[in-house]
Amino acid sequence: MDKFRMIFQFFQSNQESFMNGICGIMALASTQMYSAFDFNCPCLPHYNLAYGLGILLVPPFILFLLGFVLNNNISMLAEEWRRPQGQRGKDAAVLRYMFCSMAQRAMIAPAVWVSVTLLDGKCVTCAFCTSVPVETLGNASHPRLSQGEMQRVLARIPCKEIYNGQELIANEVAVRYLRCISQALGWCFVLLMTVMAFLVRSLRPCFSQAAFLKSRYWSHYIDIERKLFDETCAEHARSFAKVCIQQFFEGMNTDLVATRCHLPRKAPADAGEAAEKLLGITDQGTMNMALKSWHRCKPPLNLHPAALPTGNGWAGEGQPPMHPSAPRRETAAYYSWV
């Protein structure tokens, strides 16, 4: 249990570790899905190819989209891409970094599915069974079959129980031939993915390390800023609801005292603290205006100039920064009478 707890804490340490854990779980789930999948080739011409390639390509596409859906940064990327310019510029390098980071993680599960499928060989056997070279592996001159009849016979190669073309080509020979080709393609795909991942990891710091660090930093900043904004809004909503409920019960106590039902209760001690957390925003319209202002006119990333928030954005835009005046130097002169 301690090891699982440490792994779980590592996944929760930051956003990237969490998404790496999600992608690893999806990769394991893809292998379990393929092992539990009941593969049934239709064994009909013009249907085998569609079925085999569909099983090979459609689930990876679904897993790729699912990887984007499970990534928490997809909504943040869309929001940052579509928001107005406001008082903060949008860096295209940061948006590209966020998209590439999500795409790389979303590609893990589809790559595992394609690798397992090619190494198993069933999809390739079903899709390309009609393309087996009968002249090389079988006896094309033994039966006098037309091209259409030969296609129907070869299409039944994946279905061993209904295959009736042993005189044309042995079922074991055709299946082994197609499976060897599929496994060769599978190992080539695994090698290609490994080499690409190695090149991306090893060569990227050699060319654009400074730009990479800048994009990664501001990507983390956008994520942290969004979390802090959500936490601040949740805290404000909690304080707003607490003050509303307290005012409601205070009004009820006043009405009950007027009718001499019971004595009024003492106001709770934390009422003032909840009112202080409202930061002066005490009605629905002002809060809606603040939320719209945050979306339209995010404050610039410059902490030095003194900027005061207003209803439509931030005051002080375009004004030079106010620097504190240097302390005035005083000089004392001493005179002596000799």
The string of pLDDT tens digits covering residues 264-318 is: 455 555 656 667 777 778 888 888 998 888 888 888 888 775 555 554 444 444 4
At 191, the pLDDT band (50, 70, 90 cuts) reads very high
Give the chain's domain count: 1
Over residues 22-26, mean pLDDT: 76
Q: What is the DSSP letter of 86?
A: T
Please report whether residue 304 resides in a domain.
no
Predicted local confidence at residue 35, as pLDDT: 84
Over residues 23-50, mean pLDDT: 86
Alpha helices in 158-283 (DSSP H): 171-258, 271-276
Please report whether residue 97 resides in a domain.
yes
Range of the domain at 169: 1-210
| Tens digit of each residue's pLDDT (9 = 90 or more) over 82-91 | 888 888 888 8
Predicted local confidence at residue 185, as pLDDT: 95
Please report whether residue 139 resides in a domain.
yes
At 34, the pLDDT band (50, 70, 90 cuts) reads confident
Please report whether residue 95 resides in a domain.
yes
Please report whether residue 15 resides in a domain.
yes
Q: Counting Cβ atoms within 10 Å, is residue 88 exposed (0-12), middle (13-18) or buried (19+)?
A: middle
Determine which of 123-127, 194-198, 316-320 has the lowest per-residue pLDDT on average. Answer: 316-320
* Pairwise CA distance, residues 91 & 80, whole Å: 10
Q: What's the chain's length in residues?
A: 338
* Pairwise CA distance, residues 9 & 283, whole Å: 40
Of the chain, the percentage scoring pLDDT greater than 90 comes to 22
Predicted local confidence at residue 325, as pLDDT: 45
Please report whether residue 196 resides in a domain.
yes
Over residues 330-334, mean pLDDT: 41
**Do 97 and 217 touch, CB atoms closer than 8 A?**
no
Please report whether residue 153 resides in a domain.
yes
CA 173 vs CA 7, 153, 169, 205: distances in Å: 47, 15, 7, 49
More confident residue, 10 or 205: 205
Please report whether residue 296 resides in a domain.
no
